[in-house]
Homo-oligomer: A and B are copies of this chain.
Amino acid sequence: MRKRKLLPILKQNGLWKRHSAKVARKEPALPPGTLVHIGERMTEAFSLRLIAYDSDHLEKLETQKIDASLRSRKEQGATWLHVTGLHEVDKIAELAGLFEVHPLVTEDILNSRQRAKIEIHDDYVFVVSKVAEFEANGQVAVQHFCLILTSDTVITFCEAPTAIFVPLIRRIEEGRGRIRKLGSDYLTWALLDAVVDHYFVVIDEVGEALSKLDEMLQQDITAVEAGHLYASRREVVGLHKLVRPLREICTHLLRGESPLLTEASQLYFRDLYDHSIHVIESTEELRELASNLRDFYLTAESNRMNKVMKVLTCVATIFLPLSFIAGVYGMNFVHMPELKHVWAYPLLWLVFVSVAGGMLWLFFRKKWL
């Protein structure tokens, strides 16, 4: 059958990049704080990147060693520690110890199945989210992302290298915008804003696939398979699962429950909240659209079935009686007076034509044809 080229979202492999199917599960009832990396290893390299800045200075460092120098307190500006690779449990535990982070928090960092959430602790704020990054091959790589905001430092944890913070790094390096003048809470906002902004890319992608599907349904329903509709709906549900916890995270950030979230940054977190609501509402609209498409497909299919049935009924209703009449005059009775009339055969054709014509007229009146 003729199929137009479909977006990757409707292909067999789907939108989401799949990793190995079997994800390590923690043994139930291990003591709390037992540090095990849950999830698959998405990168081989463990790396730790430090960017410390204030309005005038900028210090960069790439290292694999955790030591106290990472904790050197600054008067101004902020320090950003970005950790890539969660399989090096010992190093992450060391880093957590350095910043006096609770073992349960460390456990959540290492657990890539942990759902997105926010925790306001006395000395730090802990945020778990998921980073969705659109890759060149048309798939979306989703990874676990954690962020710890302390008074002067922001520590972020990723499972694999990601490019979504590159524009932010460049902005810090070039001193554009106000980022160099503001502290660690502004940096937190900038990081989360980058995460939320990338959700829009995924939403647009799914939305485009649904529009394409809609258009296809309108033009030629046979080009669409039920599996496409099912796949698109599954993607929307996956997306909804991803963005739903954003509302809760942003609400807590907006309320400024921690002294680490300064008055000055409230305006920015309100903006973030706004974007999150937009992301969530867009996802819900996509869900509605996907349901609508499925309903339309079912209606259209039942319509086509109806048409097929009508054709069948018309054909049977015309030809079964005609065949019967023909069958009657094919009988071999010795005494069938009609058979010998000269005009019988032409007259019978008249009967055939008028029966068929009458039927057709009836069907047209009933709008079956």
Residues of A within 8 A of B (CB): 1, 25-34, 102, 104, 114-115, 117, 119, 164-168, 171, 176-179, 190, 193-194, 197-198, 200-201, 204, 218, 222, 226-227, 229-230, 233-234, 237, 241, 267-268, 270-271, 274, 277-278, 281, 285, 288-289, 292, 294-306, 308-313, 315-317, 319-324, 326-336, 338-342, 344-345, 348, 352, 367-368
Q: Which of B285, B309, B319 is in CB contact (< 8 Å) with A320?
A: B319
Taken together as a complex, chains A and B put the C-alpha atoms of A342 and B335 apart, in Å, by 6
Residues of B within 8 A of A204 (CB): 25
Q: Is the CB of B305 within 8 A of A306?
A: yes
Do most interface residues of chain A lie in helix, strand or loop, or is the interface mixed?
A: helix
Q: Which of B28, B270, B297, B324 is in CB contact (< 8 Å) with A164?
A: B28
Residues of B within 8 A of A285 (CB): 237, 241
Q: Is the CB of B339 within 8 A of A167?
A: no
Q: Which of B1, B288, B312, B336 is in CB contact (< 8 Å) with A312?
A: B312
Beyond A32-B271, A330-B331, whether A311 also contacts B312 by CB under 8 A is no
A2 shortest CB reach to chain B, Å: 9
Residues of B within 8 A of A222 (CB): 367
Taken together as a complex, chains A and B put the C-alpha atoms of A234 and B306 apart, in Å, by 24
Q: Is the CB of B233 within 8 A of A292?
A: yes
A85 shortest CB reach to chain B, Å: 22
Taken together as a complex, chains A and B put the C-alpha atoms of A338 and B319 apart, in Å, by 21
Q: Is the CB of B230 within 8 A of A299?
A: yes
A192 shortest CB reach to chain B, Å: 11
Q: Is the CB of B29 within 8 A of A193?
A: yes
A147 shortest CB reach to chain B, Å: 15
Residue of B nearest to A117 (CB): B274
Taken together as a complex, chains A and B put the C-alpha atoms of A296 and B230 apart, in Å, by 6
Taken together as a complex, chains A and B put the C-alpha atoms of A80 and B29 apart, in Å, by 17
A305 shortest CB reach to chain B, Å: 5
Q: Which of B25, B27, B237, B330 is in CB contact (< 8 Å) with A292?
A: B237
Q: Which of B277, B292, B313 is in CB contact (< 8 Å) with A311?
A: B313
Taken together as a complex, chains A and B put the C-alpha atoms of A167 and B326 apart, in Å, by 79
Taken together as a complex, chains A and B put the C-alpha atoms of A221 and B177 apart, in Å, by 57
Taken together as a complex, chains A and B put the C-alpha atoms of A191 and B277 apart, in Å, by 26
Q: List 24 A-B contacts (CB under 8 A).
A: A28-B201, A29-B194, A32-B193, A33-B177, A104-B271, A218-B227, A227-B296, A230-B292, A234-B292, A237-B288, A297-B299, A301-B303, A301-B306, A305-B306, A308-B309, A311-B313, A311-B317, A312-B313, A315-B320, A319-B321, A320-B320, A329-B333, A332-B336, A333-B344
